Amino acid sequence: MLAKKVEKILNEQIVKEGYSSNLYLAMASWADTEGYAGIAKWLFAQAEEELMHMMKFVHFINERGGHAIVPAFEQPPAKFEGIKKLFNQVLEHEQYISGSINDIVALVIKENDYATHNWIQWFVTEQIEEESSVQNIIDKLNLLGDKNMYMFDRDIMSIRESGE
Ligand code: FEO
């Protein structure tokens, strides 16, 4: 059975994961309309992953005797100021999400909730991977400068798949 405080913070994470999904979906849609098909594909895949993260929270809360609440989501921006800025925004957002996962870890330790502590470790690992994969993309973009965006767009999915 989840303590009320734990149920509350996990429900707050549903809002954050759902917003992440919508944010990346908005970025994907923008990139698509700008002609960046590869970058859009990467972002669409990212949006789906975030949806899966949100679902994990929904199921876990209910399995542990709580009630997962489906919230309204704030509307994400529709326009972005270029590819580099967009990926910097993704990184900042992931760092913010990592911070909120850490807050959950801190609370469940305080509440002696070792079941949730055990479960949330998947997200701790996932955040390390997400931050590093976005950082990797930013590094590649910095190497390229402002040229060769065509090649970057063409290659981004292979960067993802090779886990470079
Ligand atoms: Fe679900 Fe990218 O954090």
Which among 158, 143, 164, 162 has a CA at the least distance from the CA of 41? 158
Contact 39, 153 (CB under 8 A): yes
Which ligand 1 atom is at minimum distance from the Cα of 49? 1
Please report, rounded to a whole number, the percentage of residues in the chain having pLDDT higher than 70: 96
Ligand 1 near 17 CB (within 6 A)? yes
| Terminal-to-terminal C-alpha distance of the chain | 41
User: Mean pLDDT, the chain, as a whole number?
Assistant: 94
CA of 119 to the centre of ligand 1 (A): 15
User: What single string gives the DSSP state of each residue in 100-142?
Assistant: HHHHHHHHHHHTT-HHHHHHHHHHHHHHHHHHHHHHHHHHHHH
- Residue range 28-36: mean pLDDT, rounded: 97
Q: What is residue 1's predicted lDDT score, i.e. its pLDDT?
A: 87
CA of 120 to the centre of ligand 1 (A): 13
- Residue range 59-86: mean pLDDT, rounded: 97
Read off the pLDDT band of 41 (50, 70, 90): very high
Q: What is residue 154's predicted lDDT score, i.e. its pLDDT?
A: 86
Helices 114-144 and 83-110, packing angle to 10 deg: 160
The pTM for the full model equals 0.94
> Does 149 have pLDDT greater than 90?
no
> Does 146 have pLDDT greater than 70?
no
- Residue range 11-35: mean pLDDT, rounded: 98
| Segment 86-101, tens digit of pLDDT | 999 999 999 999 999 9
CA of 42 to the centre of ligand 1 (A): 14
Contact 85, 107 (CB under 8 A): no
**What does the DSSP 8-state code read for residue 150?**
H
Read off the pLDDT band of 155 (50, 70, 90): confident
| Segment 118-138, tens digit of pLDDT | 999 999 999 999 999 999 999
Going from N- to C-terminal start, the domains of the chain cover 4-162
Q: What is the dihedral of CA 67, 73, 74, 78, to 10 degrees?
A: 160
Q: Which fold has domain 4-162?
A: Ferritin (1.20.1260)
Q: What is residue 163's predicted lDDT score, i.e. its pLDDT?
A: 55
**How many H-runs (helices) and E-runs (strands) does the chain carry?**
5, 0
